[in-house]
Structure 1
Amino acid sequence: MNISSVTVGLPVADLAAAVLWYRRVLELIEPGLEPDDDVVEFKVGPVWLQLGSEPTARSGAEVVLRLGVTNAALEHERLMSLGVAVGPLQHVESAVNYFDFVDPDGNRLSIYSLVPAGA
């Protein structure tokens, strides 16, 4: 298999509100694609984030969208200043710093940064 790209789809109840929330929280400019009336896609790093207007009820396993950044602690503070309910900043020695939160539709997200060797 030669995978050339990745798209992660998240269900949202109100597409317009979700677009505004994701643009604010992830500091996205404009959607890169709008392939359908009920779908918007943003280029986020090397993947596409697809928001689709569909039922948000959960059944079974949940997807967690994990996004790597340079400094998770700075993003934790920035999101708190925006009023986003974020979990505590966690530190896994010699591995990662991370925190979790959810979007208004209950989709789980996580922000992480790698810890430099020896830190």
Structure 2
Amino acid sequence: MTTLERYKKYWQEKAMRDEISREKLRHDAIKFTERLKEILIKEFPVKKVVLFGSILEKGCFDEDSDIDLAVEGLPKDAYFTAIARLIMESPFDIDLKPVEDVSDLLKQRIAKGKVLYEKAENS
């Protein structure tokens, strides 16, 4: 094997290890969203919780990524308490977006997300 071939092989293997590591991190973050959802629905009067963003796209979530959550029905005066509560609990960075306050473009991205919780109409 030539030096160039060894060099190429090393970087291919490193890229594969990095991809596996990113995917494990993404999986761990997705698993942790269950805990975040439980905090939101038990401690705050939210109607809906949606996971969106890079966490849902294989290969896009890494150590610099955050968990993007959109909430519907969170009172404005509870926002900072809610985000602080999530940040204190989470090993991941959190971005909490009240659906009522985001742009139409972001609403479109949120609509493509994964609904983690939606309160029944008669509840």
Instruction: Provide TM-score, normalisation by structure 2.
Output: 0.31
Relative contact order: is structure 1 or structure 2 higher (C-alpha 8 Å, sep ≥ 6)? 2
Determine which structure has the larger strand proportion and give its number: 1
Determine which structure has the larger helix proportion and give its number: 2
Structure with greater Cα Rg: 2
